[in-house]
């Protein structure tokens, strides 16, 4: 079966859902649903998969907030690489966000530490070795978007109303299935 905008509209109507209902369940705008149904846009495959999943199951999809770990271990830029290693070891994790004055400024992962093995971990500051911050999503974003993001990033941070509330790693995604 080929999925077209017309087919999505038929499925939505058969499910007894309005465009607004479907947009709320899929966490995309009603206007985008309308453009998909009238075939004015070519949606991403992940969007089509989300819509089909909802229309076939008629239930709310899993959100990033459902998958995330609220136990957020973090570093400050002035912390040492040695502290990063100690935290990773004691919490059994392999990546840490770097937070300064409530703002995410970078990230440190096992690979960050390995790349900087030539430096003295007792004296090198996290700010000297940290990499770009992990991407951030909202708690209400659909969890289906995470697998693509985690292919390219060690972790994804989660926020609610601009406040950091959790972290998602590949492990979180695996155990949520």
The secondary structure of residue 125, as a DSSP letter, is: B
Give residue 61's pLDDT: 55
pLDDT of 1: 66
Distances in Å between the alpha carbon of 163 and those of 29, 113, 159?
23, 27, 5
Whether the model clears a pTM of 0.75, i.e. scores above it, the answer is: no
Give the C-alpha separation, 173 to 151, whole Å: 12
Q: What is the pLDDT along the chain (177 residues), one digit of tens a residue?
A: 688 999 999 998 888 889 998 888 888 999 999 999 999 999 998 899 889 888 887 555 578 998 999 999 999 999 999 999 999 999 999 999 999 998 999 999 999 999 999 998 899 999 999 999 999 999 988 888 898 899 999 999 999 988 999 999 998 888 776
**Angle between helix 45-57 and helix 5-14 axes, rounded to 10 deg:** 20
Residue indicated by tokens 């239930």? 59
**What pLDDT score does 69 carry?**
93
CATH of domain 5-60: 1.10.260.40
Longest CA span, the chain: 64
Count of residues for the chain?
177
**Structure tokens, 77:** 């830029």
Superfamily of domain 66-176: CBS-domain (3.10.580.10)
- Cα(109)–Cα(12) distance, integer angstroms: 43
- Domain definitions of the chain by residue range: 5-60, 66-176
Burial grade of 166 (CB within 10 A; 0-12, 13-18, 19 or more): buried
pLDDT value of position 15: 81
Per-residue tokens: 133? 């911050």
Distance CA 76, CA 4 (A): 49
Judged by phi (left if over 0) then psi (alpha if -120 to 50, else beta), residue 116 lies in alpha
């Amino acid at each position: 079966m080929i999925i077209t905008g017309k087919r999505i509209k038929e499925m939505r109507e058969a499910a007894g859902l309005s465009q607004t209902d479907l947009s709320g369940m899929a966490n995309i705008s009603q206007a985008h649903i309308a453009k998909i149904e009238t075939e004015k846009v070519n949606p991403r495959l992940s969007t089509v998969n989300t819509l089909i999943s909802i229309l076939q199951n008629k239930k709310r999809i899993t959100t990033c907030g459902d998958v995330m770990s609220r136990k957020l271990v973090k570093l400050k830029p002035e912390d040492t690489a040695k502290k990063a290693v100690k935290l990773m070891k004691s919490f059994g994790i392999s990546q840490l966000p770097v937070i300064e004055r409530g703002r995410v400024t970078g990230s440190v992962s096992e690979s960050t530490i390995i790349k900087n093995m030539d430096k003295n971990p007792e004296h090198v500051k996290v700010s000297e070795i940290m990499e770009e911050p992990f991407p951030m999503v909202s708690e209400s974003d659909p969890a289906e978007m995470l697998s693509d993001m985690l292919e390219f990033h060690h972790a994804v941070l989660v926020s609610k109303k601009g406040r950091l509330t959790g972290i998602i790693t590949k492990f979180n995604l695996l155990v949520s299935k």
